[in-house]
Each structure stands twice: as C-alpha cells, then as structure tokens.
Structure 1
Amino acid sequence: MKSSYLTNLVLLIVVLALLWLSQREQLVSDQTPTISSLSAPDVSAIEIAQTNKPVIKLERQHDAWMLTAPFNAQANQTRINLLLSLLSAPVYGHFQPMDQASLDQFGLSKPETTLTFNEQHFYFGGVETLNKRRYVLHKEVIYLLDDNVAPLLRASAGSFVDNRLLAEQNTITQLTISDLGDNEISLSLQDGHWKSSGFQSNTDQLKSIIDSWQLAYAMQVRYLDKQTISTLPAPQIRISLENRAEPLELIMTETAQSLQIVNPALQLQYDFPLALKKQLLPNTDTE
C-alpha cells in the first residue's frame, strides 16, 4: 500500500514538473523579442521613403487599405501584410551603436530607405554576410532581422496597388463592349439571369465571361501620366456595377506579350496574360 502511495506521489510530481516546464516554455515563446511594441492591428498609416524616389503613403480607411501617395488607389492587402510582418519578425540580435562609425559600418549613417508605421520610424541598413539578415535601426537601437521586408520597399508605388481589376465588393450588372467589328454587344443581368444583345450565347457562356471580368487579376499594375492616357483610344468597355451610379469605362489594348486594360479615371494600367482575352471577349462568330 505504501509502495503504491509513493509511486502515485512520484507520478504526480513528474506530471506537475512537466506542466511547469510546458508553461515556462510557452511563456518564453510568448516573450520572443520583436523590434517594436507596436502591433499590426494598431497601425493606421504607412510611409515608405527612399532616396530620389517619390514617397509612398498608405492609409487604413475603415476595413481597407488605400494608397494615397504618389497617387490614389485601392491597396494590395497581401503586400500590406508583408510590410506589417516587420513588427512580429524575430530579432536575432540588437545593440546600441557606439558612435557614427558604428552606423557607417552597418549602412545606417545615411539610410536610403525608411519605413514608418504611424509615427515610428524604421531605418534599413546593410545585410550581414553570414546569414544575409538585415540591419534595421529603430529608436537608436540596431536590430538584426530576416531580410523579408526590404526587397518590397524598393518596389514602385504601382506594386502596392490591388491587382484586381474590380474591387471585391463591386458586382457587375451589365457589360458593354464596342469596337468588335463595328458591333456593340452587351451582357446584362435581368431577373437573376444573364442576357445578351448583339450576339448569341447560352447562359453558362455569358456567366463565364462575366466571371472572367469579375475575377480578373493583373500580373502587374502601372500608373500612367495624363499625357500617356491622352494617346490611347477611346474606352471600348463599359461596366455597370451594383450601387454605383456611373459605369466604369475601360480601354483595352494589347502587345505581342500581354493584354492591357486601362482605367483612365484612375490612370492605372493592368497587365494580363494575352490568353485572357479569349475569356473576356465573347465569340461573336456564333451568330
């Protein structure tokens, strides 16, 4: 009886010890140092400043991020999340620079790239040779981090624009396409069903065309100046959207490599694979 009691006591002690170790490891894990106490949900403004390049500004507006400088556009949430990942990135080392020479050594005396979250500035320096990690200066302390964010900071403002031609919340109710052999065709939603005008097609084919427009996701987005816009042909595509009074007007052009759709109101050009053209335009030879 006594032996059984002692065995149970030993087992209880072992279980309690394992529980304590588990909680201690979890506590250590939860206290992994990061570069800032600021958390991603608290960030409402982001600024990227680079030497000899326009400043890029992004703002959280309600539940969406918007690019507000050097031009206005819906922002790409995936790239925003990558920027914000800096705040939760593991720190592999940190130290205070002793003097200006220390800053020079780590490429931080005159940093070419500065990332700002709200009012907190993060200066990006050089890369250490062993593990290719990046030196980042924040509040007079140099941190060593994985180099996941710096490459994105060198991208153009267009890289931060949402690649979707139509915002997720925009629903197409009518699509009109002109300049197809001097023939204007349209697809419109009537009583929950898609109907065509100017060509013959079945309901599944019409819905496939609309879905292709609704889900169109560009390989690249570029900002066009007004002079470039003025050299383009008149819009051939009009898209009516739910809860939007005026139709969206678009210009379609192509090169040997890509299909280009321009939104002249936003001064944005969306580049798609040339093969997408067959999915966006109906086959009018089926009449």
Structure 2
Amino acid sequence: MNRKYLNFVMIGVAAALGAGVYYGAQKKAVAPKPPLTALNTATIHTLTIENQGKTLKLERSKHGWQFTAPFRAAANDANVASILSVAATPCERELPLKGLKLAELGLDPPHYSVTFDTEKVQIGETEPLKYRRYALVGGHVCLISDPSAPGLGSENYANLVSAQLVPPGPTLVKIEIPGYTATFDAGAKSWSLSPAGTGLAPDAAQKLADAWQGAHALWNTLSPATPDAHDEIATLAFSDGSSVHFSVTAHKPQLKLVRADLGIAYAVSPAEEDKLLKPAPAKTKTSAAKHSAASKNASLSR
C-alpha cells in the first residue's frame, strides 16, 4: 500500500477516534445545577434578614444599599452582594418535601432566613457528608453550599454596615472636633476653620474635610455599651440637616470611633488619628527645608 495513502488513512482514523471521545465526553458532561431561586440578583430591591431574634432590613438606593431597620445607615455593598448571591446559588440536590422532618433539618424553626423582595429562603442545619446547608424555599428543600456572608448565621452584622465614616448622599457641611469647628461655605465652595490659629496650615480646614470624607474603618464591631460621658466627641453635620456623632473610646492599638445610634464601633488606623482629630499644623522652616531637599534629591535621581 502506498505509504502516503496509509498516512492519510491513519490520520483519518485518529481524527474519528478523537471526535468520538470528545462526543462521548460531551454526552457525559453534567448539566448545570438549577439556581436556588429564579430571581435576578441585579434587580432585587429589598432584603430582610431574620437571625436569632433580630431583624435587619435593607433597601437598594441610588447611593447603594441602605439599612432601613433597626437603624438607617449605609451598608457595605460588597458584603450585601455576598448575601444576594445566595438567591442564585446552585441547588446541589433537591429533596422531596413529603416525609421530611423539618425540625431535624434545622428548618422548623430555621437557623435564619433571608427574604429577597418577597421570596423567602430559610436556612437550616448542615448535612454531615459535604457540610452543605438545608434550604427551604418555595415549598421545596435544597442542599446548598454553606453561605458565608457577614450577618448570616451569626449575630455579628457589624461588617454589613459601610466602613465609610462619612455616609454617601448629602454634602458634609460642618465638622466639630475637640477645640475646632470646620465649616463649608457653599457659595465660595471652600472650608474655613475656627478658631483660626497662626500655627495651622492655610489649608487645614480643607485637609480636615478631605480626611473625613476619605476615611474608612479597617473593620467594624458591635458596640452595645454606651460611650462614656468623658469621651471625646466628633460631630459631622450634613446639608440635609442630619448629623452623625462619633465617640472616641480608644486610641490604641486602633483609633476606635463609636456611633452609639448604630451600636457600631469603627476601628480606624492610628495613622489617621491626627488627620481626623487635629487640624494640620503649619510647616516649620525645618520641615520645609527637608521637603525641599527631598524634592531636589528626587529630581537629581531621575
């Protein structure tokens, strides 16, 4: 047989075998698991979390997710997204409701529940083999991956609250810190500080406002204790007439700012303390000389 012809035959056989293997693998491919609910997480407007006797309510707004109960505050959008993902998590296995003892599955009563708009998902115990959770929704029970979002299965919902110290929305117009008040002039679009001091930087008020508007906590914790009457207080006022009060309850290892109205403590980097609680000082001749020398060295090294 012609060698060239034989090579063509062998190539054809190999291709046919490869196609057969590929086709067989495709046939054996596992179909994707159905989602727990049919909801589109991008269009969910409200969330209600019922957990160990506490009820949290959140609502989507133009400024992101907001708590509406038991208090009004900005939520941490990234952590709320983790909760929303539960609505679309795959149902790994559906169990027939008939004959199930819901109490034994931790579903009567449930460990906690999340209502996405009007669709309620109740979460129970974990099963012992793959540690998946029992979830009851729409009259059927599913096994799902154990949700790990903050505020689910735990009383600690602190990190569902936004880590931003200045909430989104209304304009910050006044900052009161121990010894000083910074005020925003909407007409001039500038900040001023009182009392003015010769030892302060010309832009001390603007730097103070920038520091607060850009400040984020490293993390949040629940703080049920009432702040001490002797704590330092920082007050922020906004264009809509609202105000926020922070009690300074600790300086180390982190700056601890407590909002008693929320029962939340914000742990802020100690490196931010002077920026938030003290106006920027004027540059001394020594610091100005150091800055000039550093700039000159940087230019020479280029």
Please say whether Structure 1 and Structure 2 have the same fold, judged by a TM-score greater than 0.5.
Answer: yes
Summarize the alignment of residues 158-177 of structure 1 with structure 2, pairs less than 5 Å apart.
158-168=158-168, 172=172, 176-177=175-176
Alignment match, 2:74: 74
Q: Is the contact made by 2:177 and 2:277 (CA closer than 8 Å) also made in structure 1?
A: no
Structure 2 counterpart of 1:254, from 249, 254, 262: 249
Q: Is the contact made by 2:111 and 2:125 (CA closer than 8 Å) also made in structure 1?
A: no
Residues 1:143 and 2:124 are matched in the alignment: no
Amino acid corresponding to residue 131 of structure 2 in structure 1: K
Larger radius of gyration: 2
Q: Distance in 2 between matches of 1:120 and 1:133?
A: 21
Q: Distance in 2 between matches of 1:208 and 1:269?
A: 26
Q: Is the contact made by 2:246 and 2:258 (CA closer than 8 Å) also made in structure 1?
A: yes
Segment of structure 1 superposing worse, 210-219 or 188-197: 188-197
Q: Is the contact made by 2:106 and 2:124 (CA closer than 8 Å) also made in structure 1?
A: yes
- Deviation, structure 1 residue 281: 3.4
In structure 2, do the counterparts of structure 1 residues 45 and 14 end up closer, same or farther at CA, with 3 Å as the change threshold? Answer: farther
Q: Distance in 2 between matches of 1:46 and 1:245?
A: 26
Segment of structure 1 superposing worse, 208-217 or 75-84: 208-217
Aligned-residue identity in percent: 20
- Deviation, structure 1 residue 41: 2.0
In structure 2, runs of 5+ residues without a counterpart are: 285-302
Q: Is the contact made by 1:97 and 1:142 (CA closer than 8 Å) also made in structure 2?
A: yes
Q: Distance in 2 between matches of 1:47 and 1:220?
A: 21
In structure 1, runs of 5+ residues without a counterpart are: none
In structure 2, do the counterparts of structure 1 residues 178 and 133 end up closer, same or farther at CA, with 3 Å as the change threshold? Answer: closer
In structure 2, do the counterparts of structure 1 residues 255 and 14 end up closer, same or farther at CA, with 3 Å as the change threshold? Answer: same
Structure 2 counterpart of 1:279, from 254, 262, 275: 275
In structure 2, do the counterparts of structure 1 residues 269 and 135 end up closer, same or farther at CA, with 3 Å as the change threshold? Answer: closer
Segment of structure 1 superposing worse, 61-70 or 72-81: 61-70
Q: Distance in 2 between matches of 1:259 and 1:195?
A: 25
CA RMSD for the aligned pairs?
Answer: 4.3
Amino acid corresponding to residue 277 of structure 2 in structure 1: L
- Deviation, structure 1 residue 39: 1.8
Q: Is the contact made by 1:48 and 1:113 (CA closer than 8 Å) also made in structure 2?
A: yes
In structure 2, do the counterparts of structure 1 residues 187 and 10 end up closer, same or farther at CA, with 3 Å as the change threshold? Answer: farther
* 3-state SS, counterpart of residue 103 of structure 2: helix
Q: How many residues align?
A: 272
- Deviation, structure 1 residue 140: 2.7
Summarize the alignment of residues 34-113 of structure 1 with structure 2, pairs less than 5 Å apart.
34-51=35-52, 53-62=53-62, 64-100=64-100, 102-113=101-112
